[in-house]
Amino acid sequence: MGLGVEISKLILAFMVLINPFGALSIYLDLTRNHNTKERRKITSVAALTVFIVITVFTLTGGFLLKLLGISVGSFQVGGGILVLLIAISMMNGNSNPAKPDLGTSEEAEITIQQPKNDQNINAIAVVPIAIPMMVGPGGISTVIIYASAAKNYWDIISIIAAGLLISLICYAVLMASSRISRFLGDTGLTILNRIMGMLLAAVSVEIIVAGLKAIFPQLIS
């Protein structure tokens, strides 16, 4: 396929695209009236949802492309361009354009109500904290791209293992959200976002190049 599955690149791509630091503000807004036990439950459900989404699209990504009649190379180019646009937006100091502006205030594009019971707690952990604030279109596209490039079962296992690691990182970041937010502040989070954007740009270019090589084999020297 030309792209291959390298665990380090997978973790980097997932970490930058899922970016649990970008979900800190909405997480803090939605959980500020909840105790530690309730926050832990919300965080656990959100992290589990991230892992489930990655696993499902890892196992079904190749089948979906075949079902829709889309070549792997074409999807790599299209997905790579989407990821590159996300990276450019992040480097410009903006949020991920593939993820909506959510919040509890009226200034947000989409206003989310505070959860009032256990059922609502589970609901907001899945939507919007896990989906789309952590796993959005860019993350899902990347999972499908790497899954379709997998050459054997070990590659599939590597993708799922990377997803598990990222899910654990998401859990740790959200549980420490108050301390991280106080330590980094708005300026620190913006700088971190720009650095992640630079790393993501490099990943996106590699995905696009792999897609072009798959479409035009003569490009391979």
List pLDDT tens digits, range 111-166.
Answer: 555 555 555 778 889 988 999 889 988 899 999 999 988 888 988 999 999 999 99
Q: What is the pLDDT of residues 206-221, one digit of tens each?
A: 899 989 988 888 666 5
Mean pLDDT calculated for residue range 9-35: 87
Q: What is the Cα–Cα distance from 17 to 199, expressed in whole angstroms?
A: 10
Report the pLDDT value the prediction gives residue 156, as an integer from 0 to 100: 92
Q: Which of 6, 24, 12 is nearest to 197 (CA)?
A: 12
For residue 128, whether the previous peptide bond is cis, meaning omega lies within 30 degrees of 0, is yes
Question: Which segments within the chain are labelled E, that is strand?
Answer: 102-103, 110-111
Q: How far is CA 43 from CA 27, 66, 99, 148, in A?
A: 9, 35, 19, 30
> Which distant-in-sequence residues (6+ apart) come within 8 Å of 65 by Cβ?
71, 72, 75, 144, 148
